[in-house]
């Protein structure tokens, strides 16, 4: 899939809320809450225009029973997709609009995602650095797989700074 970076769009917030409402209709009482995370959740951040949503649920194993229903509503069912205990659903095919990351409410991955989001929301200089880096990578790589792989070390360092910031608040 081709890398598409877009300037921050306030409509991303509305897209998050609309999708959360729609997913509530599918997953019902399993849902505890939704979180908007990733670059589209950070004002001023340039991003691939794909809304990253975290759906926190009571029991991750029960989510697998919704796979067929999710497919019927146009989601690609990707399973754990490299993160143990997560279920990933992607919407929009080649022109993706949403990534739904479903975690059981006590999964350890949740914390790092939310801390990074909050750190970026509070550090405009980091938003600028990260945006510039993503623009450089988008010039170098056409394919999102290569782009994402090249971005990973930068993001891991950013996460370390975010976790340190969180611990020292």
Q: Are strands 86-91 and 75-79 parallel, antiparallel or unpaired?
A: antiparallel
> pLDDT-based confidence at 115, cuts 50/70/90?
very high
pTM of the predicted model as reported, rounded to 2 decimal places: 0.93
Percent of the chain past pLDDT 70, that is, above it, reads: 100
> What's the CA gap between 111 and 155, in Å, rounded?
15
| Phi, psi angles (nearest 5°) of residue 15 | -60, -40
CA angle 24-29-30, nearest 5°? 90
Mean of the per-residue pLDDT values of the chain: 96
Residue 4 confidence (pLDDT): 85
């Amino acid at each position: 899939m081709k890398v598409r970076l877009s300037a921050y769009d306030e409509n991303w917030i509305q897209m998050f809320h609309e999708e959360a409402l729609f997913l509530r209709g599918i997953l019902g009482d399993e849902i505890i809450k939704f979180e908007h995370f990733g670059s589209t959740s950070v004002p001023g951040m340039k991003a691939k225009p794909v809304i990253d949503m975290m759906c926190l649920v009571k029991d991750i194993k029960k989510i697998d029973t919704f796979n067929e229903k999710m497919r019927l509503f146009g989601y690609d069912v990707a399973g754990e997709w490299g993160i143990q205990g997560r279920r990933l659903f992607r919407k929009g095919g080649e022109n993706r609009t949403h990534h739904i990351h479903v975690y059981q409410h006590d999964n350890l991955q949740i914390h790092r995602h939310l801390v990074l989001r909050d750190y970026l929301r509070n550090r405009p200089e980091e938003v600028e650095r990260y945006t510039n880096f993503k623009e450089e990578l988008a010039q170098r790589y056409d394919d999102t797989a290569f782009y994402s792989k090249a971005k990973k070390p930068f993001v891991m360092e950013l996460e370390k700074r975010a976790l340190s910031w969180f611990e020292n608040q």
